[in-house]
Structures are given as structure tokens and as C-alpha cells.
Amino acid sequence: MTDGTTSLTPATDQPAAGAAHATTRDGLHAPYRVVAPSTLAVASVALVGLLVWVFFFFFQAQVKFAFRSPSDWGHTLIIPAISGYFVWLKRKELLAEPFKPAWFGIVPVLLGLGIYFIGYLGPASLIVHHNARGAGVGLTIFGLALLLFGWRAMRYLWFPLAYLVVFGQTISDGVLRPVTEQMQDWSARGASLMMTLFGMDVEREGNVLIVYQDGEKNPLNVAEACSGMRMLLAFLALGVAIAHTGLSHWWQRVLLVVSGVPVAIGVNVLRVMTLGILSLWDVGFTTGEFHSFVGLVWLLPALLLYLGILWVLRSLVIEDGDDPKAATKKSDGKAKKKSGGTPKEPTHAV
């Protein structure tokens, strides 16, 4: 290899098969070895297998949580596929240039492994916590991506990886409990107000709604499952995904994600009110499978409302390609440029 070259293999007069060329500072081309797709696929499978082996207990617990409570955490099983789709959308940008590994990636890898194993081995006074272990797994994945693909690739990989780490794991009750209790209170207050507006005789004692009919009390407990937290988490994951792929301005993305909070709370208030009305006919409607069915029924209008907010946010901005007048002006400008300016009136000699 001569001075000033950037080749990864010794240069020869005839480049070997499977070799590509890199431009040197002298303007010459030097061959470097290109990894075959089959080799890259095998290396990727081996890397994923290594991650699963190292973090086996975390992934095992994660899958158990998802199957044990599918209505709460079932969505975590499809988050990896959504994250992979985000990477697929940026495949052209990722493959536009060869990857340049960054050795700095070793730092987050070691830090992530340390957090993960401390989260398991203790001592208990430190970060022995499922989400702490999840943070260690996420940090390790970020570090490996940086180590293998480099800083340029991370411009396109950071969001899919962050989406995977944030929404791809269950959140412990200790973290969610303060938010869940607040949402329970909001749902109970809102349902009590709505039922009163509809002329129903209802009282609220904490998170318990007491519906009166012919002097009889029908208590309706707004439990943690009725807080709306499930719907909120689902809408946050959905909103972030749609905002990333379907909106071009940062303020549109922020508004769409934030709007998931009032949508989830508002629809959950209507769901609790529906259960309160149904309890007048049969108290059994407020428990069991029918209780879950009512939640699924209200999920559809909630989704339609959320998509309506997306449509409004898109309508607030007219891109150049969507404006017919702008497109006409642009085409006229191109025509003038090709003709050398504004065409002059032809002159005729008489």
C-alpha cells in the first residue's frame, strides 16, 4: 500500500473479484474488500444469537410478561418488527457509503453490560430492577451499533434503536403506579361528571362510583385496569411511529404524540361511563369478559379520533409538491430557464 491510499487490502494492477474501489487523496482508485451478503447475514445472525445468549434471562422475562398480560404488554412483541421497518426505510442512506466502525462504541457496551449484571447480581440497594436491566440492554445495543457501523450510520439508526428500547420492554408497576393512580382519579371524576350530565344519580367516593337506581346502590370501582394506562401506552407507541414516518415538521410530531394523552383519558372516561350505564341493567356487565369487550369497542373510535388529529395536522401544512399554484410556477420557471428567459415577441419585416 502506497502513501495516501485508503484501501483495506494491498493494491494490485487488476482488482480481485468482489472488490470495490475507494478514492485516494491522489484521485486514484484503490480496491478494498467488500463483504458478501451471505457473510453479512451470517455475521448478523451470530450477533443476534450472542445478544440473546448474554441477555437471555431479560428476554425470557420480557416474553413472559407479554404473554401473561397481553392486553397490557402484548404490543412489546411487535415493537422489534416496527423498529426493523424504520431501519428498512433508511436502507438506501445506510448503504450509500461503506460502514466505518467507531471504537468509541466499546464504552457504552461495557457500561451497558455493567448496568445489566449489577441489575441482576446486586446489591439490592442499587439498581436491581427490571427496567434498569432493560436500560443496560439498550445501552449495549447502541454501543454495538456504533462499534460496527460507525457515527454516520447512527444518524439513521438512533431512532429505531431508541424506539425499540423505550417501547419494547414492560414498565414495572413501581414506575407506573403514580401515573396510574392519577389517571384513575381523572377517569372517575370525568365519568361521574358525564353520568350526572346525562341525568343519572351518581356519587363518587374516591375511585368508586355509586350509581343509584330505585334506591339501590350499584358500586362501580375504577380499578387500575380501568385507568386508561393501557390505551395511553398504546397511543404513545403508535403516535411516535406515525409522527416519525408520516409528519415532516417537528411541531406536528410533538402535537400528535402529546394529543395521545387527552385522547386516551377522554375515551377511557366514556368507557367507564358506558360500564356505569350498563350496570343499571346487570352488574355482571362491569366484570369479566364483557368488561374487556367494552374496552375493545371503545378502542376503535379512539383510533379514528387519533387519525383525525393526524389528518388535521397534515392539513395545516401545504408542501410545495402539494400546491398546484406552486407547481405551476415552478414548471413555468423551468421553461423560462430553458428558453433563456422571457420569450420576446417575434418581429416581421414588411
At 348 the pLDDT is: 43
| Segment 323-349 mean pLDDT | 50
CA triplet 27, 92, 85: central angle to 5 degrees? 155
Question: In this structure, is residue 239 part of a structural domain?
Answer: yes
Residue 335 has pLDDT above 80, yes or no: no
Q: Which residue has the cell 454501543?
A: 143
Tens digit of each residue's pLDDT (9 = 90 or more) over 263-309:
888 888 888 888 877 777 766 666 666 666 777 778 888 888 888 99
Final residue of a structural domain among 171, 194, 211: 171
For the residues 230-251, what does the mean pLDDT come to?
87
Residues 103 and 186 in one domain: no
40/34 Cα distance (integer angstroms): 10
pLDDT at site 297: 78
Percent of the chain with pLDDT over 90: 18
For residue 41, the model assigns a pLDDT of 66
Task: Quote the domain boundaries for residue 97.
Answer: 37-171
- Does 280 reside within a domain? yes
For residue 206, give Cα distances in angstroms to 211, 232, 262, 289, 343.
14, 22, 21, 25, 79
Q: Which amino acid is at 106?
A: I
* Domain end (from 112, 145, 171): 171
Report the 3 state secondary structure along the chain: CCCCCCCCCCCCCCCCCCEEEEECCCCCEEEEECCCHHHHHHHHHHHHHHHHHHCHHHHHHHHHHHHHCHHHHHHHHCHHHHHHHHHHHCHHHHCCCCCCCCHHHHHHHHHHHHHHHHHHHCCCCCCCCHHHHHHHHHHHHHHHHHHHHHHHHHHHHHHHHHHHHHHCCCCCHHHHHHHHHHHHHHHHHHHHHHHHHCCCCEEEECCEEEEEECCEEEEEECCHHHCCHHHHHHHHHHHHHHHHHHCCCHHHHHHHHHHHHHHHHHHHHHHHHHHHHHCCCCHHHHCHHHHHHHHHHHHHHHHHHHHHHHHHHHHCCCCHHHCHHHHHHHHHHHHHHHHCCCCCCCCCCC
Task: Tell the burial category of 334 from Cβ atoms under 10 Å away from its Cβ (0-12, 13-18, 19+).
Answer: exposed
The per-residue pLDDT for range 125-172, each reduced to its tens digit, is 666 678 888 899 999 999 999 988 889 999 999 999 999 999 988 888
Q: Is the pLDDT of residue 343 over 70?
A: no
Total domains in the chain come to 2
Is 333 part of a structural domain of the chain? no
Contact criterion met (CB below 8 Å) for 66 and 170: yes
What does the block give as the cell for 40? 453479512
The answer to whether residue 91 is domain-embedded is yes
pLDDT for res 17: 46
Least reliable range by pLDDT among 111-120, 174-183, 204-213, 217-226: 217-226
Identify whether 1 is part of a domain.
Answer: no
User: Which of 106, 95, 256, 153 lies closest to 161 in space, CA to CA?
Assistant: 153
For residues 152 and 189, membership in a common domain is answered with no
| pLDDT tens digits along 314-330 | 888 876 555 555 445 54
Do 159 and 182 reside in the same domain of the chain?
A: no
pLDDT tens digits, one per residue of 182-223: 888 888 888 888 888 888 888 888 878 888 777 777 787 777
Asked if residue 222 is part of any domain, the answer here is yes
The answer on 215 and 165 residing in a single domain is: no
Report if residue 71 sits inside a domain.
yes
Residue 331 has pLDDT above 70, yes or no: no
For residue 205, the model assigns a pLDDT of 82
**Final residue in a domain of this structure, among 149, 171, 193:** 171
Write the CA distances from 63 to 60, 74, 117, integer angstroms: 5, 9, 19
Clarify whether residues 165 and 152 are in a common domain.
yes
Residue 251, Cβ density class (10 Å: 0-12 exposed, 13-18 middle, ≥19 buried): exposed
Statement to judge: residues 179 and 158 lie in one domain: no
pLDDT band at 28 (very low <50, low <70, confident <90, very high): very low
More confident residue, 106 or 322: 106
Which pLDDT score, from 0 to 100, does residue 289 have? Answer: 67
Which residue's C-alpha cell is 339501590? Answer: 216
Are 114 and 200 in the same domain? no
Q: Same domain for 132 and 216? A: no
The edge-to-edge listing of strands for the beta sheet with 202-205 is: 202-205, 208-213, 216-221
Tell whether 127 and 114 lie within a shared domain: yes
Residues 76 and 47 in one domain: yes
In the chain, the percentage of residues whose pLDDT exceeds 70 is 73
Confidence of residue 118 (pLDDT cuts 50, 70, 90): confident
Same domain? For 63 and 189 the reply is no
pLDDT at 279: 74
Specify if 325 maps to a domain: no
Task: Say what the pLDDT of residue 24 is.
Answer: 45
Q: What's the pLDDT at 68? A: 85
8 Å CB contact between 128 and 136: no
Q: Over the stretch 30-78, which tens digit does the pLDDT of each residue have?
A: 444 445 556 666 777 787 788 888 898 889 888 988 888 777 788 888 9
Q: Give yes or no: residues 149 and 180 share one domain.
A: no
